[in-house]
A and B are shown apart, each in its own frame.
Chain A
């Protein structure tokens, strides 16, 4: 029986290690490597066509309301399309107890406007605005009319609501690995359901240890039962 157990345990172990290696290096794109962490997506980008959101005069101002600033919203990315005449802009993030103003000069035409942000101590909801500072310049931000992308923020240009969603994405400043992200991931799950994060840790431990061990145990017990059973008549 012990020999049979070896015959079961070894293939399971080999299969597990092979799959684990495959998963880590080839199968799961994020498991073994550091990656940029998207921390919030108030409004996502378009699928098919870009809806241009233009700032064409000095003082033109585009805003998104209902933006959540949190300790994770460390860098904001605002995609633009090429215009040939990008100008300097003022970036403003404001919420109760939180205010950031940055002037951004000469970023590459048509590339993302990237702004590093100090973060609030606790999450707050506020507004994000960009103002064109120079005359005879032209900036086109990326927007979308697609219903699949509809989200909470309302975009305005010079105070007037626009139908399009203005694509806004927040990142964390440093890339992280899957293992680094686990506590945050379980915390996020806990926020949108009822078990506490500690209970999810317990569940995770049971799954990670229990599934491989359970498979081995089930097969081993089955073979033991077959060995103990009387031979068929």
Chain B
């Protein structure tokens, strides 16, 4: 006798199905503003992947060559030796398609006709041309985490054509940007009860033109930004809710991951260590638990350090994963007095007892206004001056509002949360101090090149968002949302405008 109903077929992947169901459930219950902001991040990120011409992001040809060599041969390219900086395939793209002069000349265009592409493809058929970029590679001294992840993605990309693969390599950054925005929301949720404030904090990150631009190019800064956002969120959670071995392990893992992504990620390690120390001081776990926490924190640090060493020790990077902008040191002697004078004059006018700064043409406006909000490509795509003037005025008003909000709410709201504020301040100060230090050391060699660009500030995007949130919160429940709407509206236009000028520069 046949059963009345056919037996239900078991899913071949019951676990995956359950995961998918849980993920769908989480999505359905997620705050709608967050979902919208994530969608905006994804759309802008994808658009930027096509807006910037191939291999024309900051040092993009070197980053792509690193990934390609690692993926094709299993080895990191050499920093100082080798036969070719780029593989034959990358070299053909740069020269046959005219992408190389585009990096330096604002009016230069690529060779995009069918005749040019046919010639490029005819000369690039040999698979061996993908494997011969063994160095010297300008970014070979970078730590390997981002390149390892991208190398895996490179292998699974559905096309072997470099131009197609490059788009896939760029698209890898879109989920990273989504995570950055998600962690920013989670950090905002710890700081603010009101959903509109969380939306403002996350919104300024989601539509930030520099985040979109860096999502659309192959560059480890994309992963570094995500890891910073994760570290900032988890640091706040740990300080607020307590120290556990798992949190300690994750925090140190994130810190070590940042250091294994970019030399500029090293400051996250002392910052998360401060978060652990503050949480320990606040919750005072007993000695046995403290020991477990210390071991849990040490393990990921050691594991990532060993992996980094193993990956990089096979090359002439000297076994160290850090070079270039982090450890570069010029011929002149380091002077703390000169460094202090340089930092002061970066932000303020020269005082009577100070010697002129090592570089007096690059300061607050250039870094925090122009390059943080709106310089793209290889630093040649800019808005007109009036746009930066407007941003500078808005930033000055914002800083005044932030100061007023902190003063006004210190006793009622903020004093009790000083450990969290101290952590946020520490992340910011340590990161910016390291940037100035690296810039100063570089300028001892070449005073003209400040080696300090806006994308280096992207890891502090959640802190920037929280600062905007505090500033508009200080305006109260009537005026605050109106100002927040204006800020986000202006940011949206800035984002669209930056895409437009990038399109014109490369493709028009």
CB–CB B390/A207 < 8 A: no
B503 within 8 A of A: yes
Residues in B with CB closer than 8 Å to A41 are 98, 101, 105, 107-109
CB–CB B199/A218 < 8 A: yes
Binary contact readout B4-36 vs A (1 if CB under 8 angstroms, 0 otherwise): 000000000000000000000000000111001
Residues in A with CB closer than 8 Å to B44 are 207, 211
List 12 contacting pairs A-B, 8 Å CB cutoff, sorted by A: A14-B489, A18-B493, A28-B504, A41-B107, A70-B113, A125-B119, A178-B500, A192-B54, A193-B54, A207-B499, A211-B492, A215-B203
Other-chain residue from B96, B108, B384, B486 in contact with A152 (beta carbon distance below 8 A): B96
Docked CA distance A123–B119 (Å): 12
CB–CB B36/A221 < 8 A: yes
A31 within 8 A of B: yes
Which of the 9-residue segments A54-62, A100-108, A132-140, A182-190 touches chain B? Answer: A182-190
Other-chain residue from B488, B494, B496 in contact with A219 (beta carbon distance below 8 A): B488
Residues in B with CB closer than 8 Å to A70 are 113, 115
CB–CB A188/B485 < 8 A: no
With contacts A12-B485, A150-B100, A194-B167 taken as known, whether A23 is within 8 angstroms of B116 at the C-beta atoms is: no
Which of the 9-residue segments A42-50, A82-90, A155-163 touches chain B? Answer: A42-50
B112 within 8 A of A: yes
Binding site for A on B (CB under 8 A): 31-33, 36-37, 39-40, 43-44, 46-47, 50-51, 53-54, 95-98, 100-101, 103-105, 107-117, 119, 159, 163-164, 166-167, 193-196, 198-200, 203, 207, 383-384, 386-387, 390, 481-497, 499-501, 503-504, 507-508
CB distance from B475 to the nearest CB of A (A): 12
**Top 8 A-B pairs, shortest CB-CB distance:** A15-B489, A19-B493, A123-B113, A12-B489, A185-B507, A123-B115, A222-B199, A11-B485
Docked CA distance A210–B495 (Å): 12
Tell me which residues from 204 to 233 in chain A have a Cβ below 8 Å from any Cβ of chain B. 204, 206-208, 210-212, 214-219, 221-223, 225-226, 229, 232
Docked CA distance A29–B200 (Å): 30
Residues in A with CB closer than 8 Å to B39 are 210, 214
Q: A151-B95, A192-B112 are in contact. List 5 more A-B contacts (CB 8 A).
A: A22-B387, A148-B104, A212-B493, A218-B33, A229-B195
CB–CB A193/B164 < 8 A: yes
Residues in B with CB closer than 8 Å to A81 are none
Docked CA distance A208–B496 (Å): 7
- Closest chain A residue to B117, Cβ basis: A191
CB–CB B493/A16 < 8 A: yes
Residues in A with CB closer than 8 Å to B117 are 191-192
A94 within 8 A of B: no
Other-chain residue from A8, A39, A217, A218 in contact with B109 (beta carbon distance below 8 A): A39
CB–CB B36/A23 < 8 A: no
